[in-house]
Chains A and B, each alone.
Chain A
Amino acid sequence: MNPSLKFILAFIISLEISLKASLTTNLIVIVFALIYLLITRIRIKELILLIAVPFIAAFTIFATLFWFSPTPDAYYAWNLSTRVYVYTLTIACVTRNTTATDFARSLEQNLHLPSKFAYGVLAAINIIPRMKIAVKQIRAAAMMRGMYLSFWSPVLYFKSILVALNSADNLAQGMESHGYVEGQKRSTIVAIPLTKKYWLIFFTLLILVNISLFIFK
């Protein structure tokens, strides 16, 4: 599906589920999301991580509302803790098979957001792996100068921020040197399709979720 549509769908579903309590809908969305992830052949390791990491949050919420609340409410506890999975799994569906570049292009082409915003988002995403390498290198560079930097060392963060600022400045200059002018029209070489089929899927899913929200408790 189109990256922007996927994103908007996940956003609306998450928002609606936050406002209206329906445990059944939560479970349906979770099952559908899991099926989608499996169909698109997610790696088992990734799937386990996706389930295991939010479990801490979900469990905490459940424990608070069920065991430690003066008025324990099983339905409410289940409802809130499954929401955590609705959020994480729908977002996982959005990022599944969609690269950051596709997403940025879609924001620009389909949603007509300013290209500055689209590529800003992209730059922010692209900088993450670079920062990971940078942090590793900073620690090595420090050890080579007889300094041990722990993960809470101010020097490590100071230097990381410097690297990030420096990259941001270079990136702006780099974009401009490759012909980018803020606010100027750009052509489309790699088009991100937004077909009727995608709209159909979008509305079908949205209506189904809404029906479920209002029928089931």
Chain B
Amino acid sequence: MIEISDVTFSYEKEPLIHQLNMNIAPGFNLLIGPTGCGKSTLLKIIAGLYPKYAGKLTGGIDLHGQKAAMMFQNAAEQFTMTTPREEIVFALENLQIKAKDYDLHIKKAVEFTKIADLLDQKISTLSGGQQQRVALAVLIAMDVDVFLLDEPFASCDPNTRHFLIKKLASLAETGRTILLSDHVLDDYEQICDQLYQFEGKTVKELSANEKNKLFTQNKQFHARSYSFVLPTGTPVFELNKTQIRQNRLLLKQNKLKIYGKTTLITGSNGVGKTSLFKAMTKMIPYKGNFTYLDNEIAKIKYHKYLSQVAQIFQKASDQFLTVTVKDEIELSKKDRNHFFTDEKIDEWLDKLQLKQHLDQVVYSLSGGQQKKLQILLMLMTKHNVLLIDEPLSGLDHDSIELVLQLMQECQEKLHQTFLIISHQIDELAQFCDYRLVFADQQLKYVEE
């Protein structure tokens, strides 16, 4: 049992969590709530990281002597060592596990998360989804009593997600406490014992009725069927005997034309989706031909090319160049398209609930707020092509609708090409015209 009594927490003057009282029982506990409400903060408080590293706290948290470990929203930032195996060794040494028990711990973690093939690869070369699996593996190897997981599946493909949730459920049955935050409700209905919702600076435990209602809503939402069409017209990108490598061969494409409008790119974790974008922005090299409007990408001047083709990075903070939200907006205003007049920008800052954060340092925004700001900033630019890597991760349902509405309005006016990587097909199906599936080192347009 985790007891939280009368906890009030604030980063600055205004408290983010106010007089929170809750008891978290062993089992599978799911924590939901809108972007920026304080889910990550609460998890870090329970993990004992706050107020040590940030903020002020009053009240008490009692874990009753249980050991807790946490997985961060941004898995990449959590590793001390270079490979998954070394990281697991590091964590086990911290817990003073004997060398003879090491095999047992690592075997369990590897089986649980299926990372046998990743163990000795450099973590920095793993994909976002693979890094999340490794981060979870470390926690499994540590075999703690309390698992604090902050959006652990945000970059995982649906199959991996389904598999890991089932595994975690079996772990919860052994008396461990799992507290997990997520925006996506899929796969949890049969599994979660308790559903907590952040509401007005405190957390409310939902009744069985409320719980059912939420899950039914979610089901109805996903019951909508979708279909895509095959593209026609003039292509924007053309691939001819193209190869992309990152540790291993990821793409081997004989011939492919990529068209304008909006295309959704899907594929399982580590298949090479982000690497494709990296090759398209000249961050990594490719072999063969890859042209943009009939010009070989490798031969176009870098700054000229990036003024036409830009990427919205998976990690929002990579996009920021200045300090405060206001500075970022001002920077983007300097070279913006005609859709974003001053009034339009104001309107959207308001809608995305960023207006009250204008003077805040961008890095101190919550994960979801950073994502919203990042997308707004990049839509303001004059690019013809935007490569968008997981635009919806970390966003709640309302924010997703807003972001999609903004992208749609923008595209209607400016006719940009959007290529979107995402695992959230249901949310994006309406918005996207075409769908490219990435599997077996090939990209292919499909209709379903």
Contacts and interface: CB of A to CB of B under 8 A. Distances in A.
Interface of A: 100-101, 119, 122-123, 126, 129-130, 133, 136-138, 140-148, 155, 159, 162, 166-167, 169-181, 184-191
B281 A191 contact: no
B82 interface: yes
B124 interface: yes
A179 B306 contact: no
Contacts of B92: 187, 189
B321 A177 contact: no
Given A175-B80, A188-B99, A146 B381 contact: yes
B300 interface: no
B353 interface: no
Given A140-B281, A144-B306, A145-B332, A174 B72 contact: yes
A143 B138 CA distance: 37
Nearest to B334: A146
Given A159-B321, A171-B80, A174-B79, A143 B306 contact: yes
A145 B321 contact: yes
B125 to A, nearest CB: 10
Nearest to B303: A143
Contacts of B53: 169, 172-173
Contacts, number: 133
B230 interface: no
Contacts of B313: 137, 141
Nearest to B67: A179
B339 interface: no
B311 interface: yes
Contact of A189 (B74, B77, B102, B382): B102
Nearest to B148: A177
B70 A147 contact: no
9 contacts: A130-B124, A144-B378, A145-B321, A173-B44, A175-B80, A176-B52, A178-B90, A178-B142, A180-B94
Interface string B67-93: 101111010011111100011011111
Given A130-B124, A143-B302, 20 more contacts: A101-B86, A122-B80, A123-B80, A126-B82, A140-B311, A146-B335, A169-B53, A173-B72, A176-B49, A176-B52, A178-B91, A178-B94, A179-B142, A180-B80, A184-B94, A186-B93, A188-B93, A188-B99, A189-B89, A190-B89
Contacts of A170: 72, 74, 77-78
B363 interface: yes
B78 A187 contact: no
B69 A179 contact: yes
B317 interface: yes
B97 A187 contact: yes
Contacts of B273: none
Contact of A173 (B49, B93, B302): B49
A175 B311 CA distance: 31
Contacts of A184: 94
B283 interface: yes
Contacts of A141: 313, 318-321
Given A122-B80, A166-B363, A177-B72, A144 B311 contact: yes
A174 B89 contact: no
Contacts of B94: 178-181, 184, 186
Contacts of A144: 306-307, 310-311, 378, 381, 383
Interface string B359-379: 000010000000000000110
What 3 pairs between A and B have smallest CB-CB spacing?
A179-B94, A146-B335, A144-B310
B446 interface: no
Nearest to B86: A101
Contacts of A166: 317, 363
B307 A143 contact: yes
A142 B103 CA distance: 46
Nearest to B80: A175
Most buried by B among A123, A171, A176: A176
Most buried by B among A144, A173, A180, A187: A144
Contacts of A173: 44, 49, 53, 72, 78
A119 B91 CA distance: 12
A174 B283 contact: no
Interface in B415-448: none
B97 A145 contact: no
Contact of B124 (A129, A172, A180): A129
